[in-house]
A and B are shown apart, each in its own frame.
Chain A
Amino acid sequence: MKRFCFTLALVFFLALGSADGKREEKFVVIVNPSNHFDALSRSKLSYLFLRKVSRWPWGAEVDPIDLKAQEPARQQFTKEVLGTTEEQLAQYWIDQRVTRGVGPPVEARDVATAKALVAARPGAIAYIPASAVDGTVKVIQVQP
């Protein structure tokens, strides 16, 4: 676990350096407008998407929604926020399914679906390209 955390932190620092370098087509993390948070750290976001925390502090069920693996936002989110690769992530969910009976978050068909799901579900959380954001969802800041 320590080893995993160490790797994650290393990945995180590398990604920061590269993002600072490009700054285009950024994804944003959206939640249902009823959500209390305005900002969340990357570790906290990864706890949410890796289903390490099942409830929001006010009690609502954490309902993470993924995009399809070919979506660039996903690739970007996996790399920057979760700090891992798709293969490792797949391996993680196999472990989780075996040990805890928990599977990976729901995969939306497209960005619009993800956004509609977040707007409909109070505990939902998703990531979409920043251009797709509208008033039906609330964007929270991803802090380092």
Chain B
Amino acid sequence: MIFPSFFRSIRTRFLVAGLAAVLLSGGLGVFLAATAQRQIHRQLRANAASIAQQTAFVMAPLVAFDSRNEINKALSLLQANPDFAYAQVSDEEGTRLASVGNVPSGPCGKDGPWQILEQGRLLNLKTPIVDGGKTWGCLQLGISRERAYHDAAQIWMTMLGAAALAMLLTLVGSLYLSRSIAYPIARLADAVSRARNGDWEAPIDVHNRDEIGRLAENFQHTLSELRRTTVSKTYVDDIIQSMVESLIVIDAQRTIRTANHSTCSLLGYQQHEMIGLPIERITSDLRFFDAAGLKKSSWNNEEVEYITREGQRIPVAISVAPMRSGGNGMICVAQDMRERKRVERELLHAKETAEAANRAKSVFLANMSHEIRTPLNAILGYSQLMLRDPSLRPETKENLNIINRSGSHLLTVINDVLDMSKIEAGRVQLHPVAFDLGGLLEDLAAMFRLRAHDKGLTFEVLVDEGHALSIVADEGKIRQVLMNLLGNAVKFTERGGIKLQASLTEREGWMWLSVAVEDTGVGVAEAEQSKLFQPFAQTQSGLDTQAGTGLGLAISREFSRAMGGNVTMRSTVGEGSVFHFEVPVQWSDSSAFSRKTINRRVTGLQLDKPAPRILIVDDEPNNRGWLSKLLVALGFLVRNAENGEAAVRLWQEWKPQLILMDVRMPVMNGLEATRKIRAHPEGTKPVIIALSASALDQDKSSVMQSGMDGFLSKPCREDELLRTLQAHLRLDYIYADEQPDPHAKSVGTAKPSHDFESLKSLGPELISKLQQAILNGEKHAIDELILRAAKSDAQSASTLKGLADRYEYDALLHLLEEVCT
């Protein structure tokens, strides 16, 4: 039903309906009133006619008998009628016989027609009086219409009054209805539309007690219930718009339906521009917006690029989830990743810089060690070589020994620093090999027994039987650890002795080698014990001795830990310390070890087969020099090459059995030369041993990959070199019949075989001179005095010499004082 717009209000409709009812009833009233009026007048006329005819009928004999009295009486009876106005009776001649009231003039003869005339407020009737076929006269009768008019007017008045009243009532009624129905409904409608627009707080101003009131009350209840149980749209909007993260909602067609303020500012759009944009406009990576895929799982913190209005790409982390209400909608929260990306780049850059710096440090260390080792190689090599000269004066020989020992010490320091840097770089690599544990222990015992005795200390070795067995472990590191522990024990002990205990036990499925080094030295204060194993942190006693790098124990512990073991210590100040070293090892089935070789001096080759050809390749003439001198002296055939290219050429024409190959060389380095030789059909024959000053294990592995058979680090020790040659060429050496170490074979419970009583024989003069020289720090004088002492007591002198060589002047003085007393 279509209404004109003004009909859309219920109030207007009430008014219009009321008005229509009023008009209808008014019209009906007018119609009824008019009908009634007509009826009244018709009735009046009918009555008047009837009265006139009755009167005429009665009048006929009266006129005929000419009885005037009767006529007058009859006329006066008519006056009883309230509408009566006048009456007159005339005879047939027109003569007036009788009359009542005010008769208008006019003829009324016997020929006068019957007539009824309405004249103003009167109804005039003229009736002939007839009887017996004869017209006796004429009756004129006047009937007043006053009452009829009055009645009609009254009807009209009543009607109009009723219509007015009805109109009034209708108006009042529709006003009342509109007030009591339309007005509250309108207010309720206002409240509903306010609530729809989010204004839930406004009260509903409807206080009816009828159905509308109940409706309003229920609506109010529902509203407050909703307000309590749900958050308003504006509240949710506020949350969405206040979010720091970008939030968009897309529908099944992947069109943006909602985008919050953060999204707009991130992408440079206005909010209204974003609504309806396809998702393709803001990102090209659509795999996260697959509604079907989302059913299975939602995406969390995926990296995507958003495209701004200007086309700039912004990295964001998005999380996409399907809308719970279904309908394939998706909600997508994104976080600006630019800052995080920048930090990541910076971190990466910092990490790369740090790594580069660390690499540079390692390379620097390697280079430095190379640079230091190369000249050391010459120093040690030549000093060792010179010592072989039997024509040397003892003095010169001793000087050479000092050079040699100092060089060795320097080498140890460099090795320590390098080891420590490897440990710090986490580059400790294990090289387990099968080796003879008994041999190792014997070597160490022999080495340190001498030094202990030199210092006037007892040296006791307690080793379980059956340790002349081979085990698999990193021999080099075990040796280094034990040398360090023993070295420390000797260094920090002035009185008493040192005890070395070793045992192999099986535990936790492993064979454990445990070695205890016990001394009666100064001991370590409890407060210092924790610092003991820290690199570069020397204890007070360590600082007092002014020797060492302070790295020894740190390296020992790190090495043993790298091998799966540990170094621990127990100490009491003034009583001594016990260092306990424990490491897991494996049995080895190999037993091909030549023992008891270390202390024997090689003087030449067994000449039962042709002398092996050895090619020495080194760019440094000094290194080539001492190596070739050493080997030639022993009976090897030696030739030299100054770089890899020359080496390959020389190999082809000379075919040496073994090549000592320096790794770093100009023109062609050792690795490349090795590869060239190995590529040759006969290239597999020669044994190639690398000589490298590089201490880095990675260099070692690249050396092995290139096809070399062994590795000797420069500067190489003579015995090491000779042992390597022996192993690879299956050689037999001739050993010098040197003075055997009196304790070398007495592995077991050895007692100090030497007391310092003999020193007394030196004489008080020499001793006091020596003391003086020591106190003055005159090395030459000390050495000279010890040499003089050696003439009377060689053994005591060698003890003194050992101490002096190691600058252990304290021990020296202590010893001398003891002798004097």
In the complex the two chains form, what is the Cα distance from A134 to B722 in whole Å?
Answer: 219
Residue from B67, B132, B133, B134 within 8 A of A57 (CB atoms): B67
Q: Which residues in A have their C-beta under 8 angstroms from that of B70?
A: 57
Q: Mark B49-74, 1 if CB is under 8 A from A, else 0.
A: 00000000010111011010010000
Decide: B131 and A57 in contact? CB cutoff 8 A.
no
Q: Smallest distance from the beta carbon of A59 to chain B beta carbons, Å?
A: 8
- Greatest chain B CB density within 10 A among A52, A56, A96, A102 is at A52
Give residues of chain B (25-63) contacting chain A, Cβ–Cβ below 8 Å. 58, 60-62
Decide: A52 and B134 in contact? CB cutoff 8 A.
yes
Q: Smallest distance from the beta carbon of A123 to chain B beta carbons, Å?
A: 11
Decide: B61 and A52 in contact? CB cutoff 8 A.
no
Decide: A52 and B133 in contact? CB cutoff 8 A.
yes
Q: Which residues in B have their C-beta under 8 angstroms from that of A96?
A: 133
Decide: B132 and A53 in contact? CB cutoff 8 A.
yes
**Given known contacts A53-B61, A55-B60, A99 and B133 CB-to-CB distance under 8 angstroms:** yes
**Given known contacts A55-B60, A57-B70, A44 and B65 CB-to-CB distance under 8 angstroms:** yes
In the complex the two chains form, what is the Cα distance from A53 to B130 in whole Å?
Answer: 9
Give residues of chain A (10-55) contacting chain B, Cβ–Cβ below 8 Å. 44, 47, 51-55
Q: Which residues in A have their C-beta under 8 angstroms from that of B67?
A: 57
In the complex the two chains form, what is the Cα distance from A31 to B548 in whole Å?
Answer: 198
- Greatest chain B CB density within 10 A among A51, A52, A53, A54 is at A53
Q: Which residues in A have their C-beta under 8 angstroms from that of B132?
A: 47, 51-54, 100, 102
Residue from A57, A99, A100, A102 within 8 A of B61 (CB atoms): A57
How many CB-defined contacts (below 8 Å) exist between A and B? Answer: 36
In the complex the two chains form, what is the Cα distance from A102 to B131 in whole Å?
Answer: 13
Residue from B62, B64, B65, B133 within 8 A of A100 (CB atoms): B133
Total A residues in contact with B, Cβ cutoff 8 Å: 14
Give residues of chain A (53-88) contacting chain B, Cβ–Cβ below 8 Å. 53-57, 59
In the complex the two chains form, what is the Cα distance from A52 to B70 in whole Å?
Answer: 19
Give residues of chain B (106-144) contacting chain A, Cβ–Cβ below 8 Å. 131-134
Residue from A54, A59, A99 within 8 A of B131 (CB atoms): A54
In the complex the two chains form, what is the Cα distance from A30 to B692 in whole Å?
Answer: 201
In the complex formed, the residue of A with least CB distance to B74 is A57
In the complex the two chains form, what is the Cα distance from A53 to B62 in whole Å?
Answer: 10
In the complex the two chains form, what is the Cα distance from A54 to B129 in whole Å?
Answer: 13
Decide: B133 and A47 in contact? CB cutoff 8 A.
no
Q: Which residues in A have their C-beta under 8 angstroms from that of B62?
A: 57
In the complex formed, the residue of A with least CB distance to B57 is A55
In the complex the two chains form, what is the Cα distance from A102 to B70 in whole Å?
Answer: 27
Give residues of chain B (400-444) contacting chain A, Cβ–Cβ below 8 Å. none
Q: Which residues in B have their C-beta under 8 angstroms from that of A100?
A: 132-133
In the complex formed, the residue of A with least CB distance to B58 is A59
- Greatest chain A CB density within 10 A among B62, B70, B132 is at B132
In the complex the two chains form, what is the Cα distance from A52 to B136 in whole Å?
Answer: 10
Q: Smallest distance from the beta carbon of A104 to chain B beta carbons, Å?
A: 14
Q: Smallest distance from the beta carbon of B783 to chain A beta carbons, Å?
A: 205
Q: Which residues in A have their C-beta under 8 angstroms from that of B131?
A: 52-55
- Greatest chain A CB density within 10 A among B58, B64, B67, B134 is at B64
Q: Smallest distance from the beta carbon of B56 to chain A beta carbons, Å?
A: 13
- Greatest chain A CB density within 10 A among B58, B133, B134 is at B133
- Greatest chain B CB density within 10 A among A47, A51, A59 is at A47
Q: Smallest distance from the beta carbon of B82 to chain A beta carbons, Å?
A: 25
Q: Smallest distance from the beta carbon of A44 to chain B beta carbons, Å?
A: 6
In the complex formed, the residue of A with least CB distance to B134 is A52
Decide: B133 and A53 in contact? CB cutoff 8 A.
no
Q: Smallest distance from the beta carbon of A83 to chain B beta carbons, Å?
A: 17
In the complex formed, the residue of B with least CB distance to A96 is B133
In the complex the two chains form, what is the Cα distance from A47 to B64 in whole Å?
Answer: 9
Q: Smallest distance from the beta carbon of A144 to chain B beta carbons, Å?
A: 15
In the complex the two chains form, what is the Cα distance from A51 to B214 in whole Å?
Answer: 93
In the complex formed, the residue of A with least CB distance to B71 is A57
Q: Smallest distance from the beta carbon of B796 to chain A beta carbons, Å?
A: 208
Q: Smallest distance from the beta carbon of B589 to chain A beta carbons, Å?
A: 181
Residue from B61, B133, B134 within 8 A of A55 (CB atoms): B61
In the complex the two chains form, what is the Cα distance from A52 to B133 in whole Å?
Answer: 7
Give residues of chain A (99-125) contacting chain B, Cβ–Cβ below 8 Å. 99-100, 102
Subset of 21 A-B contacts with CB under 8 Å: A44-B64, A47-B132, A52-B64, A52-B132, A52-B133, A52-B134, A53-B60, A53-B64, A53-B131, A54-B61, A55-B60, A55-B131, A56-B65, A57-B61, A57-B62, A57-B65, A57-B67, A59-B58, A96-B133, A99-B133, A100-B132
Contacts A44-B64, A47-B64, A56-B65 aside, 13 further interface pairs with beta carbons under 8 A come to A51-B132, A52-B131, A53-B61, A53-B64, A53-B131, A54-B131, A55-B131, A57-B61, A57-B65, A57-B70, A100-B132, A100-B133, A102-B133
The 6 closest A-B pairs by CB, nearest first: A52-B132, A53-B64, A55-B61, A57-B61, A100-B133, A57-B62
